[in-house]
A = this chain, B = another copy of it.
Amino acid sequence: MTIRMFDLCGADPERRFSPFCWRTRLALAHKDLDVETVPWKFTDREAIESLGAQKVPTILDGEKMVTDSWAIAEYLEETYPDRPTLFPNGKGEVNFIRWWSEAVMTVGVASLILKDVYDHLDPVDQPYFRESREKRFGRTLEEVQSGRDKGVKAFRQALTPLRVTLQHQQWVAGSSPGFADHMCAGPFLWARATSPFRLLEADDSLNDWLNRILDSYGGVARSAPGYD
């Protein structure tokens, strides 16, 4: 049965950018599950609230609704245990990577591309996005992004643990990819979908891993609209 996934989109419904939706998209692809993505905008509240969800990613697997990328990964692992595992080493230390990817990567990338994300939104979503994000950051979108030529250096530095790990092993999860990889890839795919700004220098060894992610699962991420 095909799983339906509500997936954040921009003015172009094919432009899917949420770092959390990308986690789920990669997790579904990793499990080799059929998926039909449903383009969803911030202001499409009713479409998911009627299912009992407040935000995306949200999936419908038959009658079963699951929301939140971590909860979806756990659901997929429990429901489809015979398919490739998302947690090849259990979940113990993966939790740390979950919070690292959010505190360092999601917050870090946001500060570099927030205005670019805004520019890709459907005009109907823009007022909500501006208001909620400016409240969260305590500055205008333009101010948040204005220091990015300097800010990107600190961001690249903060990626040191990820970079060094991937100089020692092929995937964040070890010798095969897992949800730890999907969580770390999400923020990069968010930026790729919305911004020409280069998060990584061309000679950053992290590009090797990111290219492997982009080409995995039949190139589900590579073939999505974005800046290459």
Number of chain A interface residues as a range: 20 to 34
Tell me the complex Cα distance, A1–B20, Å. 51
Tell me the complex Cα distance, A93–B164, Å. 12
Instruction: Report if A132 contacts B (CB, 8 A).
Output: no
Instruction: Report if A94 contacts B (CB, 8 A).
Output: yes
Q: Which residues of B contact A98 (CB under 8 A)?
A: 165
Which of B90, B95, B175 makes the CB contact (< 8 A) with A165?
Answer: B95
Which of B99, B161, B178, B180 makes the CB contact (< 8 A) with A104?
Answer: B161
- A93 and B172 in contact (CB under 8 A), knowing A99-B165, A100-B100? yes
- A165 and B103 in contact (CB under 8 A), knowing A89-B89, A89-B90, A90-B88? no
Instruction: Report if A97 contacts B (CB, 8 A).
Output: yes
Q: Which residues of B contact A91 (CB under 8 A)?
A: 89, 174
Instruction: Report if A160 contacts B (CB, 8 A).
Output: yes
A178-B92 in contact (CB<8A): yes
For the complex of A and B, the 10 pairs showing the least CB-CB separation, nearest first, are A92-B174, A100-B161, A89-B90, A89-B92, A93-B93, A99-B164, A99-B161, A103-B160, A89-B89, A96-B165
**B-contacting residues of A (Cβ < 8 Å)?**
88-100, 103-104, 160-162, 164-165, 168-169, 171-175, 178, 180
Complex A-B: 19 CB contacts under 8 Å: A88-B92, A89-B90, A89-B92, A90-B90, A90-B174, A92-B169, A92-B172, A92-B173, A92-B178, A93-B93, A93-B180, A96-B161, A96-B162, A99-B160, A99-B165, A100-B100, A103-B161, A103-B164, A104-B161
